[in-house]
Amino acid sequence: MEALKEMRAVYAETLVRLGAADDRIVVLEADLMKATGTGPFAKAYPERTVNVGVAEANMVGIAAGMSAEGKIPFAATFACFASRRAYDQFFVSGNYARLNVKLVGTDPGVCAAFNGGTHMPFEDLALMRAVPGLVIVEPSDPVSLAAFVQKAAERDGCVYLRLQRKAAPALYKEGETFDFGKAKLLRAGSPDGKADAVIVALGALMAGEALKAADLLAAEGKKIAVIDALSLKPLDEELILEWAAKTGRVVTCENHQKRGALGSAVAEAIAESGVPCKFARVGVDDEFGEVGTQDWLADRFRLTAPHIVAAIKGL
Amino acid sequence: MSPSERARVEAFAKEIRKLTIGMIAELGVGHIGGAMSIADLLAVLYDKRLKAYPEDARAADRDRLVLSKGHAGPALYAALAAKGFFPAEWLSTLNKGGTRLPSHCDRNKTPGIDMTTGSLGQGLSAACGIAMALRLDSNPATVYAIIGDGESDEGQNWEAAMFAAQKRLSSIVAFTDYNRAQIDGTTDEIIGLGGLAEKWAAFGWNALEIDGHDVGAIDAAIETAAAVGDRPTMIVLHTVKGKGCSFCEGQVGSHNMNVTKEMAAEAVAALGA
């Protein structure tokens, strides 16, 4: 089997490709270039690479200033720092100023693994969702990642891109098109489009767990649809509500607190639509992170396929 | 600076003060103290040093200005209106619903404003980003930045200070309005800044300190900054909060205060013709 490609390698090679065609693309790092993997960009375009040191707030402010002069900055750091540490800078200097900062938060949720609770963002998406007009995406595989990095570059306005930087299997074929506000139906429950429930997942880790959960339930004769949310804001309410109406049972799953991100957004959409359905959220239940392997943590925080299965059965 | 030029710039500073007092009195409340203390600096910049085009406020070859102490916006609006960036009638709309002149600077609302500021400590980072971008574009424009002394408590300034020195951003000419007063008291009472120029020098900047109300000294300091090619410049301006405004000069409590039309009329009269 071909070795899976690291998501960070896709991030870097996409930036190199975009940077070749557009010299407005600049990369900012806060002493985590080795982690983010943007070395290839720095090698290709050293003059367009800015390492600010351990100073995330300054990085976002510098990115805002560069965008005021027409540059298209991609600034990356661990998602905990991108959100909690530089929130006001991203809010005011980036978003409120209507500038053009692409902020990339890596190692979301349990992906922070051995860095533990201080580095484990279960709340970045909730924070970002409260920023007016901000576009928020969490790509689920290498193909969607490359597409959304390009979309982010093309958009005139701030974007928060949540990046699981380790390897993830391809869910889409090359050439698949993506857009902000558009989710993907990864799996219909059955060929005739009928299903007993729909899982709405966000991010590579949770999309994978959602598909596994669908397989586990398929073995029991249950038809489960899976939606890859991709774009948290704007959310593809149309597709989600369509399947909520079809199935009457919706479970959201996210590598994040249950409160404030995907689960909340889907619940709000359902409640306001009047679509009658049962609903449950799989996510972190008001807890801080801790150390462990990603797999151990995913189970510890009840994010894995068996927990999704249990949530569906509980409806 | 020749005597005639000095007279002209000083007259402009007086005009900035009068317009600022008037616009704040129109509303009845505002950040008058820290606006008054930078009036002389703004007069030097907009009457002489800063390359700007009122009819083309975003011209590529203009000098940039980031007013990081964004609450002093009214003084900047006075300078911009006087130079024709927008109609003088706008000044009476300060902070009223729907205005294009909000209390804190907004690059999307006001012609001539280069950066949105107001959350203290963020402007110098933006100035660094602007300077980095201009360097990439081989644009020789100067990036001016004005920060407050109370604002200097914010750690982000010092992140930006190290960055600008590391990247040798000599296009940045920054000023600290060292009026020695912040909201809750004097800077010495709250967070003493000590030798501010020494701090900036230790951070690798070309640091100067001058009388911030001496337009000739301000002009000369900017002139020397232009000759420094390998470092950013910080000009510490020793100023007086509320300078030139009879009812609040030297008053620590003038950060944000009520101003009646009667107070304003008296202060404007005291400034003289």
> What residue segments make up the domains of chain B, in order of their start?
3-271
- Binary contact (A47, B136; C-beta < 8 A): yes
Nearest C-alpha neighbor of B78 from the set B65, B90, B66, B61? B90
Pick A68's closest partner by Cβ from B124, B126, B155: B126
pLDDT computed for residue B123 by the predictor: 98
Architecture label for domain B3-271: 3-Layer(aba) Sandwich (3.40)
Given CA atoms B118, B122, B127, B133 in this order, what sign does their dihedral have?
A: negative
pLDDT computed for residue A268 by the predictor: 98
pLDDT computed for residue A190 by the predictor: 85
- Tell me how far apart the alpha carbons of residues A30 and A152 are, in angstroms, rounded to a whole number: 20
Is 50 exceeded by the pLDDT of residue A295? yes
Find chain A residues with C-beta within 8 A of B136's C-beta.
23, 26, 47-48, 71
Given CA atoms B234, B235, B240, B243 in this order, what sign does their dihedral have?
A: negative
In order of their start, the domains of chain A are 7-163 (3.40.50.970), 184-313 (3.40.50.920)
Nearest CA in chain B to A54: B159
Nearest C-alpha neighbor of A27 from the set A298, B237, A267, A39? A39
Catalytic residues of A: 56
SS3 at position A156: coil
B59 confidence band (pLDDT: 50, 70, 90): very high
List, as ranges, residues 3-32 from A with C-beta within 8 Å of B.
Answer: 23, 26
A249 confidence band (pLDDT: 50, 70, 90): very high
A169 touches B at CB < 8 Å: no
Is 70 exceeded by the pLDDT of residue A76? yes
Q: For B82-90, what is the mean pLDDT? A: 98
Q: For A277-282, what is the mean pLDDT? A: 98
Say if residue A234 is preceded by a cis peptide, omega within 30 of 0. Answer: yes
Q: Check if the beta carbon of residue A203 is closer than 8 Å to that of residue A233.
A: no
- Binary contact (B162, A62; C-beta < 8 A): no
Find chain B residues with C-beta within 8 A of A70's C-beta.
133
Q: Check if the beta carbon of residue B167 is closer than 8 Å to that of residue B132.
A: yes
User: pLDDT tens digits, residue range B140-182?
Assistant: 999 999 999 999 999 999 999 999 999 999 999 999 999 999 9
- Binary contact (B160, A63; C-beta < 8 A): no
State the smallest CA–CA distance between residue B6 and chain A in angstroms: 33
State the smallest CA–CA distance between residue A65 and chain B in angstroms: 4
User: pLDDT tens digits, residue range B6-47?
Assistant: 999 999 999 999 999 999 999 999 999 999 999 999 999 999
Is 80 exceeded by the pLDDT of residue A2? no
- Tell me how far apart the alpha carbons of residues B133 and A26 are, in angstroms, rounded to a whole number: 9
- Binary contact (A65, B116; C-beta < 8 A): no
A71 touches B at CB < 8 Å: yes
- Tell me how far apart the alpha carbons of residues A200 and A269 are, in angstroms, rounded to a whole number: 13
Pick B125's closest partner by Cβ from A58, A70, A97: A58
- Tell me how far apart the alpha carbons of residues B40 and B30 are, in angstroms, rounded to a whole number: 19
Record the tokens describing residue A268, joined without a space. 């709000």
Q: How many CB pairs under 8 A join A and B?
A: 104
Q: For A49-62, what is the mean pLDDT? A: 98
Q: For B221-228, what is the mean pLDDT? A: 96
Please report, for residues A14, A141, B111, B244, the alpha-carbon distance to residue A152 in angstroms, rounded to integers and kept in the order given.
11, 16, 28, 49
Q: For A11-38, what is the mean pLDDT? A: 98
List residues bridging with A254 in a β-sheet.
A202
Amino acid at the residue B161: A
A5 confidence band (pLDDT: 50, 70, 90): confident
Chain B residues bordering chain A (beta-carbon distance below 8 Å)? 66, 106-108, 114-116, 118-119, 122, 124-134, 136-137, 155-156, 159-160, 162-163, 166
Supply the mean pLDDT for chain A: 97
User: pLDDT tens digits, residue range B174-218?
Assistant: 999 999 999 999 999 999 999 999 999 999 999 999 999 999 999
- Binary contact (A58, B163; C-beta < 8 A): yes
Whether the predicted interface score ipTM is above 0.85: yes
Q: For A28-50, what is the mean pLDDT? A: 98
- Binary contact (A64, B114; C-beta < 8 A): no
Cα angle vertex B197, ends B195, B200, to 5°?
A: 110
Q: For B79-104, what is the mean pLDDT? A: 98
- Binary contact (A52, B107; C-beta < 8 A): no
User: pLDDT tens digits, residue range B106-136?
Assistant: 999 999 999 999 999 999 999 999 999 999 9
pLDDT computed for residue A1 by the predictor: 47
